[in-house]
Amino acid sequence: MICQLSRRTFCLATAVLLAVCLSTPLFGTRVCCEGDQWLRWTNEVRQTYVLAFSLGYSKGYAQGCTVGTRDVAASLRPGLENNPARNCRHKGLDFSRGTDYFVKSITDFYTHFPADRDIYVEELIRCFAGGLSVEEAHSQHFPSRDKAQ
């Protein structure tokens, strides 16, 4: 009896696991649609997402500039404006507008353009950190769409 019950439990667990695995995307296929998920989140979760993204990006970018320019010959001219690592850091995305700006822009984008809710949140953050408006972001080519097709 225990052996049969265990076998039934095993079969049931295997069937559930198989159903879950087959219903989720495999091999790097993206789940549609991040915009729908974004609109379900509370403002606090959105703020946390943008803050975490901006901190992670900024730290990684700064470290990349430091490592990437380590062997670059510094200019013979004095001054911070001639420092390769500093110049590299200033080419990164601009998050100085704060999380409120990004949260509002992303929310406005997904609200005004529901057909574009398949665009990754990360891609929108990059657009807005690069100085684009919601309308300008809407007219952009997004690499994630290439992957989805």
pLDDT digits (tens, 9 = 90+) for 95-149: 999 999 999 999 999 999 999 999 999 999 999 999 999 999 999 888 766 554 4
Amino acid 50 reads V
pTM of the model: 0.69
**Rounded Cα gap, residues 145 and 14, in angstroms:** 34
Q: Counting Cβ atoms within 10 Å, is residue 46 exposed (0-12), middle (13-18) or buried (19+)?
A: buried
Residue 10 is which amino acid? F
Dihedral, CA of residue 109, residue 112, residue 118 and residue 121, to nearest 10:
20
Mean pLDDT of all residues in 74-103: 79
Decide: helix, strand or coil at residue 61.
helix
